[in-house]
Amino acid sequence: MPEVIFPGPEGRLQGRYQPVGKPRPPVAIILHPHPQSGGTMNNAITLAMYNMFVKRGFATLRFNFRGVGRSEGVFDNGIGELSDAASALDWLQAMNPESSGTWVAGYSFGALIGMQLLMRRPEVKGFISVAPPANLYDFGFLAPCPSSGIIVQGLQDEVVSEPAVQKLVDKLKTQRHITIDYEQVETANHFFANEMDEMMGLVERYLDRRLMSGK
């Protein structure tokens, strides 16, 4: 997984990119949790999702938002981070101009940015959101949500309240032409400290099912 440096809106952004030695691969971008809470592209859940997509033949990118690691700039309350994500996806797609499909995955703050990103990018085929902070941010921008995806939430989460996530899921499920899967991990906290395997199993089975169906 070679390190890459690519241009962002406020300077260079640092990432890890796994190319694929075949034409027209699908691409995936993975977004890390909150920079001011220690979130980086090396976060365990971010890395696990990155490896999941790599294993399935995706050209896969994870990167540090502005002000994290060797990425230039300073934290911008989500506005600049969305621009960072858009620039990262531009770079990934430029590296794979004939990509067969685009996926976005994010954890916590990264799930928020990922769901904002898919509203801007109609080519996004599917999304994975782990512990989206629906009680901390307004997800009203998903009107309507353009892509099908999966949301995973721990029922013992002390940061993101499950009822807020359930409310978001219920709202999304009323929309036509998309399908939202919602999986709950009963004993998991916000970090899935002891339930990483269970959570990743849910996400992997979902992704495999989508890939098998071709939708």
* CATH code of the domain in which 54 resides: 3.40.50.1820
Range of 140's domain? 3-213
Residues of the chain falling short of pLDDT 70: 1
Q: Write down the pLDDT at residue 2.
A: 86
Q: If DSSP codes are grouped into helix, strand and coil, which group holds residue 48?
A: helix
CA neighbor of 152 nearest in space, from 126, 110, 185, 115: 185
CB contact at 8 A, 165 and 133: no
pLDDT in tens, 74-127: 999 999 999 999 999 999 999 999 999 999 999 999 999 999 999 999 999 999
Q: Write down the pLDDT at residue 1.
A: 63
The domain tally of the chain equals 1
Long-range pairs for 137-141: beta carbons < 8 A, 24 or more residues apart? 137/78, 137/112, 139/112, 139/115, 139/168, 141/115, 141/116
CB contact at 8 A, 107 and 130: yes
The DSSP element (H or E) to which 105 belongs, if any, is strand 102-107
